[in-house]
């Protein structure tokens, strides 16, 4: 705990330690997710492109499912 009259070096050390812990947490998050961009704050343009591509992929998967359902219906008829 920081008290009045604390050593300035200790305060600087605590701040530096906190910054290093945050950096380590970010590095671990990036490594474990396997993605280069995890949040919009990492790369706003890249995140926008990723979101757009994910939307297009999910819509194409739905088109594929609908097509398969239509073919199955025609085969049944």
Cβ–Cβ < 8 Å for 11, 2: yes
Whole-model pTM over 0.85: no
pLDDT at 67: 93
Largest Cα span, the chain? 86
Q: What confidence category does residue 3 fall into, taking pLDDT thresholds of 50, 70 and 90?
A: low
Provide CB contacts within 8 A for 20, sequence distance 6+. none
Q: pLDDT of 30-75, one tens digit each?
A: 777 767 677 777 677 877 888 888 899 999 999 999 999 999 998 8
Does residue 1 register a pLDDT over 60?
Answer: no
Evaluate the CA torsion angle 60, 62, 65, 67 in order and state its sign.
negative
pLDDT at 11: 79
């Amino acid at each position: 705990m920081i008290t009045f009259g604390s050593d300035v070096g200790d305060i600087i050390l605590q701040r530096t330690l906190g910054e290093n812990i945050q950096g380590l947490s970010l590095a671990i998050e990036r490594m474990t997710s396997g993605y280069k961009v995890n949040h919009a704050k990492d790369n706003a343009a890249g995140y926008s492109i990723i979101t757009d591509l994910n939307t297009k992929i999910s819509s194409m998967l739905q088109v594929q499912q609908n097509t398969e359902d239509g073919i199955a219906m025609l085969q049944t008829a």
